[in-house]
């Protein structure tokens, strides 16, 4: 065998040597990397950090869960501690229609029998069987689930339970927090509204006030959420022995209003009746305690039902504080007060009524030709514009402006309601100064007027209107009461007495404009008003294009109550404006006086309405039968969720109570009901009602037991012949 050549041997040794060198280098790299990793690992173990990240904290975060503990929003009460607004939960209905959605045992978890499901659901939500069936037959092949619009939203717990009891495959619910307004249409703009805040910044499921007290005191009512912190395993389940830390939520504070539910409910019903019958564009009514400034009842039209949201779209503004208007002749209360108090009133002097020239402009009385030469003492009860122009001229603009400031005109009252307007005052020209004496050229709010009126009612002391009685913290037990606040003394006691005597003349004298406001058995004083409406720089013409108003005080010698009602442009002015206003003013003032033990009216058979809300329907019916009250039931459920009249309200024997139950909202048989009874039905359901005729119901456009919703329109035929 031939020996390898030296060259080949050399190459072989070279290759072998290179391999040895490479092995040594590789070993050194591996050993180096090992020590690097060992050092790095030792550092991580010792420091517990990686790239400045605390691994222990990161691990804790991965297996740590925080569960929010939601604070309860504070409750709003009336003056008698009846609930006006409180927290609740509502449920939204949806249905799964994807046939692939089944259980591990292939049990259908989707809607399999659509016709049966539609038939059952139509008994609980205000949608027909056909419409529900159409929703369930969604044509989108990729649709997993379907919803039912507004009809399937905001369902009560009772309705949810009833649907679940039917065991319908594929029918499910989601829960969301809600605000419960058990009284329906009840000082809606004052109480306001709280809704879910769906903004990105908001916590999931947070209620926020968007109107009224709910908005003004939103932070007070909201409280602070708590948290429960615990450990979970890699599957997300809570570890049984892991430490748990809990930060309890701080519930919102409760607010008690000055509103009296008995008076408020009666005012709502009375104003609704007038609003339905005469169709004014706007209407307000405010009843205040003259001594304290507490608002006992207040409402406006148009309004809305916070429970059903009916009417909300066109009724966001609070007319009592956010809208400024020319008040008209009720403003003569202030100009007469200023003239008497400043010593510029000469009641026995005579002037020529009918017309007066002011800087080349003619100002006329509402009675075009006037009443001839009459004493200034008749200017107020006759509501003579000419007389008050002359009174303002005798005072002088400087004095008159001083008293306007004293009465708080053109200034906010500071009432605890959002968006209060300050009004405006045109006072540069002699004509401007003259016409403010009878309420033109000046824009005010209802609450400004109530504050100014209080000086006349309260012997010169002017008190701030008050809507909140107290705020209480359920956590600490601390209660903060709102005290009566005297905002000034613009006139003397003697001046106030003189003005109230003039208010008596408006009713008692044969030439007074307010004789229709007399209430037998009570001493009342009033001032009427008819204000022109400015539009595009000119005043509107026409018999109904006015803001008609009346303010009254009673008992007039020592007023306990001030009632102020305004009515703008009644579209069905079938009676004189004063008769229309009297149909609201007289019963409301009389009802208030009946609660005053010093001014008790003759005995009337009355019953205190029992508390029925939250009770079983059978129990409520038994109570009503025992008290001698008739009733009508709205809904297919077995539990009462709303009632009208409200609990503790005084009602006449035989008066009808309307009960709203859980379950589907169904139409009752209303034949034989009075118009007022049907208005209660409209208020508690949100249904729009159109009346024809007078008297009692003889026919209804929606049959009994038919499903109702807030879009339902009910036509009622009334007849003077009552049928049962």
CA nearest neighbour of 262 among 292, 290, 283, 287 = 287
Question: Is the CB of residue 317 less than 8 Å from the CB of residue 284?
Answer: no
HEC secondary structure over 525-575: EEEEEEEECEECCEECCCCCCEEEEEEEEECCCCCCEEEEEEEEEECCCCC
Three-class secondary structure of residue 255 per DSSP: strand
Q: Per residue in 401-438, is it b (16+ CB within 10 Å) or e — as a string?
A: bebbebbbbbeebebbbbebbbbebeeeeebbbbbbbb
Cα dist from 705 to 216, 308, 709, whole Å: 41, 20, 13
Rounded (5°) CA angle 628-632-633: 125
Beta strand spans in 360-423 (E): 361-364, 373-375
DSSP state of 170: T
CA nearest neighbour of 470 among 525, 416, 414, 418 = 416
Question: Is the CB of residue 649 less than 8 Å from the CB of residue 690?
Answer: no
For the record, the structure tokens of 120 come out as 């059952």
Q: Exposure of 203 by Cβ count < 10 A (0-12 exposed, 13-18 middle, 19+ buried)?
A: exposed
CA nearest neighbour of 255 among 287, 282, 215 = 215
CA nearest neighbour of 696 among 668, 670, 662 = 670
Three-class secondary structure of residue 644 per DSSP: strand
CA nearest neighbour of 327 among 546, 138, 80 = 546
Is 215 a known active-site residue? no
**Sign of the dihedral through C-alpha 622, 623, 628, 629:** negative
Please name every residue paired with 666 in a beta bridge, in sequence order, or none if there are none: 707
Cα dist from 197 to 212, 304, 311, whole Å: 16, 20, 21
**Catalytic hit among 265, 272, 329, 498:** 329
- Backbone phi and psi for residue 289, each to the nearest 5 degrees, phi listed first: -70, 120
Question: Is the CB of residue 667 less than 8 Å from the CB of residue 643?
Answer: no
For the record, the structure tokens of 658 come out as 């309307």
Beta strand spans in 398-544 (E): 424-425, 442-443, 462-463, 468-472, 479-481, 486-488, 525-532, 534-535, 538-539
For the record, the structure tokens of 220 come out as 């007070």
User: How far apart, in whole angstroms, are the C-alpha atoms of residue 162 and residue 175?
Assistant: 16
Cα dist from 202 to 209, 226, 566, whole Å: 13, 15, 40
Question: Is the CB of residue 699 less than 8 Å from the CB of residue 674?
Answer: no
Q: Per residue in 325-359, is it b (16+ CB within 10 Å) or e — as a string?
A: bbbbbbbbbbbbbbbbbbebbeeeeebebbebebe
Polymer length in residues for the chain: 724
Residues noted as catalytic? 329
């Amino acid at each position: 065998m031939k020996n390898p050549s030296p060259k080949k041997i050399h190459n072989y040794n070279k290759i072998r040597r290179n391999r040895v060198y490479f092995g040594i280098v590789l070993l050194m790299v591996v050993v180096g990397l090992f020590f690097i990793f060992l050092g790095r690992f030792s550092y991580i173990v010792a420091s517990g950090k990686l790239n400045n990240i605390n691994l222990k904290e990161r691990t804790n975060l991965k297996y740590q869960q925080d569960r929010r503990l939601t604070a309860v929003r504070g409750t709003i009460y009336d003056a008698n501690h009846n609930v006006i607004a409180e927290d609740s939960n509502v449920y939204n209905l949806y249905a799964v229609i994807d046939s692939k959605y089944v259980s591990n045992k292939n049990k259908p978890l989707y809607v399999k029998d659509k016709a049966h499901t539609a038939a059952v659901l139509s008994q609980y939500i205000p949608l027909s069987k056909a419409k529900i069936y159409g929703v369930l037959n969604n044509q989108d092949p990729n649709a997993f689930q379907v919803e039912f619009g507004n009809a399937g939203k905001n369902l009560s717990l009772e309705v949810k339970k009833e649907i679940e009891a039917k065991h319908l495959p594929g029918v499910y619910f989601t829960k969301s927090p809600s605000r419960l307004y058990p009284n329906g249409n009840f000082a809606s703009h004052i109480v306001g509204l709280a809704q879910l805040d769906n903004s990105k910044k908001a916590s999931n499921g947070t209620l926020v006030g968007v109107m009224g007290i709910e908005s003004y005191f939103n932070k007070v009512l909201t409280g602070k959420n708590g948290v429960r912190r615990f450990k979970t395993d890699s599957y997300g389940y809570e570890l049984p022995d892991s430490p748990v830390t809990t930060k309890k939520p701080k519930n919102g504070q409760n607010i008690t209003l000055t509103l009296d539910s008995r008076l408020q409910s009666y005012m709502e019903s009375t104003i609704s009746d007038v609003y339905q019958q005469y169709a004014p564009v706007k209407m307000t009514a405010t009843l205040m305690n003259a001594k304290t400034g507490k608002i006992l009842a207040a409402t406006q039209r148009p309004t809305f039902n916070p429970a059903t949201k009916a009417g909300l779209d066109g009724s966001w503004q609070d007319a009592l504080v956010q809208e400024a208007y020319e008040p008209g002749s009720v403003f003569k209360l202030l100009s007469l007060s200023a003239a008497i108090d400043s010593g510029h009133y000469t009641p026995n002097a005579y002037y020529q009524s009918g017309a007066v020239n002011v800087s080349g402009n003619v100002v006329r009385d509402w009675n075009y030709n006037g009443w001839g030469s009459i004493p200034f003492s008749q200017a107020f009860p006759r509501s003579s514009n000419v007389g008050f122009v002359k009174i303002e001229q005798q005072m002088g603009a400087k004095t008159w402006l001083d008293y306007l400031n004293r009465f708080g005109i053109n200034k906010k009252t500071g009432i605890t309601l959002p968006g209060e307007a300050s009004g405006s005052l045109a006072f540069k020209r002699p004509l401007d100064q003259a016409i403010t004496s009878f309420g033109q050229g000046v824009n005010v709010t209802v609450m400004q007027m109530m504050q100014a009126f209080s000086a006349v009612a309260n012997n010169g002391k002017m008190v701030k209107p008050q809507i909140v009685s107290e705020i209480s913290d359920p956590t600490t037990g601390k209660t903060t009461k709102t005290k009566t606040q005297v905002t000034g003394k613009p006139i003397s006691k003697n001046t106030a007495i003189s003005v109230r005597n003039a208010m008596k003349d408006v009713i008692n004298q044969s030439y007074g404009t307010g004789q229709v406001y007399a209430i037998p058995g009570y001493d009342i004083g009033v001032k009427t008003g008819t204000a022109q409406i400015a539009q595009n720089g000119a005043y509107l013409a026409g018999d109904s294009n006015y803001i008609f108003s009346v303010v009254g005080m009673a008992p007039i010698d020592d007023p306990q109550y001030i009632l102020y009602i305004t009515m703008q442009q009644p579209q069905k002015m079938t009676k004189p404006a004063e008769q229309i206003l009297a149909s609201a003013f007289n019963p409301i003032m009389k009802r208030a006086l009946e609660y005053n033990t010093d001014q008790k009216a003759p005995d009337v058979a009355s019953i205190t309405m029992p508390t029925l809300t939250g009770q079983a329907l059978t129990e409520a019916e038994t109570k009503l039968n025992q008290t001698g009250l008739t009733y009508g039931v709205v809904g297919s459920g077995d539990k009462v969720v709303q009632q009208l009249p409200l609990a503790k309200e005084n009602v006449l024997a035989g008066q009808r109570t309307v009960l709203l139950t859980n379950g589907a909202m169904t139409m009752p048989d209303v034949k034989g009901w009075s118009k007022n009874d049907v208005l209660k039905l409209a208020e508690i359901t949100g249904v729009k009602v159109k009346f024809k005729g007078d008297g009692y119901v003889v026919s209804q456009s929606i049959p009994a037991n038919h499903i109702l919703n807030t879009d339902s329109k009910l036509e009622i035929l009334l007849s003077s012949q009552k049928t049962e």
